[in-house]
């Protein structure tokens, strides 16, 4: 099957993408409006960007009327947010916060989700989340217009809260973290069945060897081509 995404209806394009791009981590994003009203919503177009500086992104799609969601409006008003990681134990609460509530009504209060004060930003974190990233807005890139157009939100991570119950030898243990991921439709996945693969050593050696050969070749070219053109050094 070949799909021409330039000719398909937007809703169909969305369904093909979310069913194929899997599994997707879930950013449970808490924000606050300029009036001080909190919001909490899940987004599965979410990823880390880089460690220097520590940066992540999530994408908030416009709703079916083409308007940005409350999370995006809040981040534009108050340039801070918190990304909370969703464990399996909190999946039902997370799912409830996907509801479309009237602007100004807090998901924390509506669904009885305990909030905890953040250390460096104004929006609170989810108290029971195993990991929370406090972020300051870096930039928002708007991609497209109308329904399901995207607003890519880049955040500079200022502080990370990690519950010690998910650590083993000072590192996050994926079995203890027990994060869930998003699939297409109404499906989700666990991260309990994991496996490890060592990176092949030859790839590192090959890369290093290629650089050495290139450097040696440049050196040989320099002493045989560039040096004679400089002439003999002057003798005083």
Task: Say how many CA atoms lie within 13 Å of 186 toward its Cβ.
Answer: 2
User: Please, what are the domains in the chain?
Assistant: 10-190 (2.30.110.10)
* Cα dihedral 4/10/13/19 (nearest 10): -170
DSSP state letters, 50-105? EETTEEEEEEEE--TTSPPPHHHHHHHHS-EEEEEE-BGGGHHHHHHTTS-PPTT-
Decide if pLDDT at 228 tops 90.
Answer: no
% of the chain exceeding 70 in pLDDT: 86
- Burial degree of 82 (CB within 10 A; 0-12, 13-18, 19+): buried
Which residue has tokens 């320099």?
Answer: 222
Residues 6-45 pLDDT 10s: 999 999 999 999 999 999 999 999 999 999 999 999 999 9
Residue 236 is predicted with a pLDDT of: 38
* 3 exposure class (CB count in 10 Å sphere: 0-12, 13-18, 19+): exposed
């Amino acid at each position: 099957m070949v799909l021409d995404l330039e000719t398909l209806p937007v809703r169909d394009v969305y369904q093909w993408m979310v069913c194929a791009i899997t599994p997707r981590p879930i950013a449970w994003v808490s924000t606050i409006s300029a009036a001080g009203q909190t919001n909490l919503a899940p987004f599965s177009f979410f990823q880390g960007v880089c460690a220097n500086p520590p940066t992540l992104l999530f994408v908030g799609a416009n709703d079916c009327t083409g308007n940005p969601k409350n999370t995006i409006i809040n981040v534009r008003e108050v340039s801070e947010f918190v990304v909370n990681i969703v464990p399996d134990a909190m999946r039902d609460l997370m799912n409830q916060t996907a509801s479309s509530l009237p602007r100004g009504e807090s998901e924390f209060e509506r669904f009885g989700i305990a909030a905890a004060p953040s250390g460096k930003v104004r929006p609170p974190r989810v108290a029971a989340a195993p990991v929370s990233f406090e972020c300051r807005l870096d930039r928002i890139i708007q991609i497209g217009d109308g329904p399901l157009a995207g607003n890519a939100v880049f955040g500079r991570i200022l502080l990370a809260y990690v519950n010690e119950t998910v650590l083993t030898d000072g590192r996050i243990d994926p079995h203890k973290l027990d994060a869930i991921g998003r699939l297409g439709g109404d499906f989700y996945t666990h991260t309990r069945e994991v496996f490890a693969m060592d990176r092949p050593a030859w790839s590192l050696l090959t890369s290093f060897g290629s650089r050495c050969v290139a450097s040696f070749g440049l050196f040989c070219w320099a002493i045989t081509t560039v040096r004679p053109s400089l002439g003999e050094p002057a003798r005083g």
